[in-house]
Amino acid sequence: MGRLRNLDHADLAPEHQDIPRLKSNITRAVAHSPKLARLVAGRGMYLRHDSGLNARLRELAILQVGYSTGSAYEWAHHVDVALSFGVTEEDIRAIAKETQGEKTHLEPLASAVLAAARSMTDDLILPQALFDALAAELDTADLVDLLVAIGEYNGLVRVMAAIEIDLEDEYVEYLARFPLSSARAVERI
């Protein structure tokens, strides 16, 4: 059990009954601050449904954050999301290879997105050459959405680790199919 009790609709005041994604453990924990929970869920829904950023690139970036940080919760949830948006199993498996510096089937833009997510996650910077490579391929709005998505999910994985968010049973299968090779898995399963 995580450090905070997961809230349900019955625990919330009537004005907070409509918090999006209250079925996920991260939202149920963050719902202790209901206005914040609404904002966090809203940003995720914007990135997923309203951003012009290519969904495959967005999900590869988020998966790279989960992989680089060893966040079992983020990784498993976004493997599910990525597959639903058409990311292939081969694309997902390429993340481990790209992280190790191996060549993959990924096109240069996808590789640059993964490199940006790794750099922003591991080193907290984005080198100018990598920024320039992304800016040459993405319009400014999509570039900003990509960078905010990487930053947003870097923040979330740290919150999940601090609160010790438990992975829901229905997502455990994704860890078996696409294991995190790192011993850095931080959430409890």
Q: How many helices (H) and strands (E) does the chain have?
A: 9, 0
How is the chain split into domains, by residue range?
A: 1-50, 53-177
Q: Phi and psi of 188, rounded to 5°? A: -90, 145
Question: What does the alpha-carbon distance between residue 90 and residue 25 come to, in Å, rounded to a whole number?
Answer: 28
Query: How does DSSP classify residue 136?
Result: H
Given a contact cutoff of 8 angstroms between Cβ atoms, the answer to whether 38 and 16 are in contact is yes
pLDDT tens for 11-28 read 999 999 999 888 999 999
Residues of the chain with pLDDT under 70: 182-189
Supply the pLDDT for residue 130. 98
Q: Could you say which architecture CATH assigns to the domain 53-177?
A: Up-down Bundle (1.20)
Percent of residues, the chain, with pLDDT higher than 90: 91
Supply the pLDDT for residue 182. 55
pTM: 0.93
Given a contact cutoff of 8 angstroms between Cβ atoms, the answer to whether 181 and 52 are in contact is no
The string of DSSP codes covering 13-53 is -GGGTT-TTTTSHHHHHHTTSHHHHHHHHHHHHIIIII--S
The one-letter code for the residue type at 37 is A
pLDDT tens for 110-147 read 999 999 999 999 999 999 999 999 999 999 999 999 99
Residue 88: which of 65, 120, 49, 55 has the closest Cα? 55
